[in-house]
């Protein structure tokens, strides 16, 4: 095994990952029919633009900016005021994006 500096190791990853780009969205359906979703980022305090769009004929669009916490996480729920159906969550920071499809059940 060879040793490498932290700087060399960091350069081995895409530049956007080092700058705190979103890495994944984890979703959980709740008993209420809403969906809990958590955005994970490579670094804390990442600035991320989020959009939630309706699918399958639902005319719904929500767009907002978030900042991840000290652990690189932003958590929320969706569906309390939205109609039942399928929605698409997109999180973008710089050139990087992650997506998730969720289903709100009422």
Q: How confident is the model at residue 21 (pLDDT cuts 50, 70, 90)?
A: confident
Q: Which residue has the higher pLDDT, 6 or 15?
A: 6
Q: How confident is the model at residue 94 (pLDDT cuts 50, 70, 90)?
A: confident
Q: Where are the domains of the chain?
A: 12-104
pLDDT digits (tens, 9 = 90+) for 23-78: 899 999 999 999 999 999 988 999 999 999 999 888 899 999 999 999 999 999 99
Q: How confident is the model at residue 22 (pLDDT cuts 50, 70, 90)?
A: confident
- Tell which CATH classification among 3.30.450.20, 2.60.40.10, 3.40.50.2300, 1.10.1060.10 matches the domain 12-104: 2.60.40.10
Q: Angle at the Cα of 37 (from 101 to 55), degrees rounded to 5? A: 25
Query: What is the mean pLDDT of the segment spanning 8-32?
Result: 71
Q: Which of 41, 2, 49, 46 is nearest to 22 (CA)?
A: 41
């Amino acid at each position: 095994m060879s040793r490498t500096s932290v700087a060399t190791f960091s350069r081995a990853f895409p530049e956007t990952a080092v700058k705190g780009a979103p890495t994944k969205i984890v979703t959980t359906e709740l008993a209420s029919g809403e969906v809990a979703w958590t955005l994970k980022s490579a670094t804390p305090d990442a600035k991320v633009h989020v959009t939630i769009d309706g699918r399958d004929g639902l005319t719904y669009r929500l767009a907002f900016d978030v900042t991840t916490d000290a652990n690189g996480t932003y958590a929320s729920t969706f569906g309390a005021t939205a109609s039942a159906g399928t929605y698409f969550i997109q999180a973008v920071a710089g050139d990087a994006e992650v997506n998730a499809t969720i289903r709100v059940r009422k």
